[in-house]
Amino acid sequence: MALTRCVAVLLIVFLTLSPTSSSQSIIQMITKEETHLSSDGVSGRRRGIDLYCESWRFTVETNDAGSWSRIPEKCADFVKEYITGERYSSESEAVADSSLAYAKSVGLSGNGKDAWVFDIDETLLSNVPYYAIHGFGSEIFDESSFDEWVDLAEAPALTASLRLYKGLQELGFTIILLTGRAEFQRNCTGINLQYAGYSNWERLILRGDSDHGKTASVYKSEKRKELEDEGYVIHGNSGDQWSDLTGFAVATRSFKLPNSMYFIA
């Protein structure tokens, strides 16, 4: 009898307390779920865009994207954050580290013909100040405004590349600069390079009249072949475009720096 009364009392207590407790739990669950949905509505879409843009950038760096004239419109913020953030500089440093590690393994002849070829734009010099006011690649490239920027000779050095450049000189490599810039830009290019901290390169090769109309890959391949014909051994080649590195007369090792702002064939 006592046991029956005890069970009855416990049942009454449970029924009295349970609705409130259950209601609070349900309210808490709904609140959390609604909060999750509302807060993740925007961030979820942003994650989707970032994932798309990261995948697109991957295809650019692996040379799978093919020819393109500007970055996808929805990736403008992504590219801006990438270029101005830590990842771009970190990846550039990683490329420099790999380049130096390889360079230290090369047995140099000591005859002055052990060459390392560098591109200039987005390899030695950064045009980010220019692209920052031109949508980080979201605008169609305007050659006239870019030439005006080049004339200023104010492009800063890529820190990682400057470290690599000086490290290669200390190891005894001969530095050759091979750029798609035109011959009329030789003076401002040389001034800019020195302003950014580069010096003592062996040769600065720019596009002459006979080179206009050629793709970068063909033009740079021809110039590398001329270097080889002069007896240079191109142990390494650094560039931000695949057209800096591929074609014929390629280097023993080529090192691709990141660039998701523009494409050059």
CA distance 182 to 191: 15
Q: To the nearest whole percent, how much of the chain has pLDDT over 90?
A: 82
DSSP H helix total and E strand total for the chain? 8, 5
Pairing of β 233-239 and β 174-182 = unpaired
Q: What is the pLDDT of residue 109?
A: 97
Would the pLDDT of 132 be above 60?
yes
Whether the Cβ atoms of residue 116 and residue 86 lie closer than 8 Å to each other: no
Q: What is the pLDDT of residue 42?
A: 55
Q: How far is CA 238 from the centre of its chain?
A: 13
Interval 161-212: pLDDT, tens: 999 999 999 999 999 999 999 999 999 999 999 999 999 999 999 999 999 9
- Rg of the chain on CA atoms, in Å: 29
Task: Considering the domain delimited by 66-256, tell me its CATH architecture.
Answer: 3-Layer(aba) Sandwich (3.40)
Would the pLDDT of 25 be above 60?
no
Whether the Cβ atoms of residue 79 and residue 135 lie closer than 8 Å to each other: no
Would the pLDDT of 136 be above 60?
yes
Mean pLDDT over all residues of the chain?
88
SS3 (DSSP) at 230 = coil
> What are the structure tokens assigned to 8, written together?
């009855």
Q: What is the pLDDT of residue 253?
A: 98
> Residue 48 contacts by C-beta under 8 Å, 6 or more apart in sequence?
none
Q: Strand runs (DSSP E) across 57-216, as ranges?
A: 114-118, 174-182, 203-207
Q: What is the pLDDT of residue 34?
A: 38
Q: What is the pLDDT of residue 45?
A: 82
Under the banding of pLDDT at 50, 70 and 90, the label for residue 41 is low
Q: What is the pLDDT of residue 5?
A: 52
Q: How far is CA 143 from the centre of its chain?
A: 21
Would the pLDDT of 214 be above 70?
yes
Q: What is the pLDDT of residue 256?
A: 98
More confident residue, 140 or 21: 140
Alpha-carbon separation of residue 265 from 96, 192, 209, 246 (angstroms): 24, 25, 19, 10
Would the pLDDT of 37 be above 80?
no
Whether the Cβ atoms of residue 96 and residue 160 lie closer than 8 Å to each other: yes
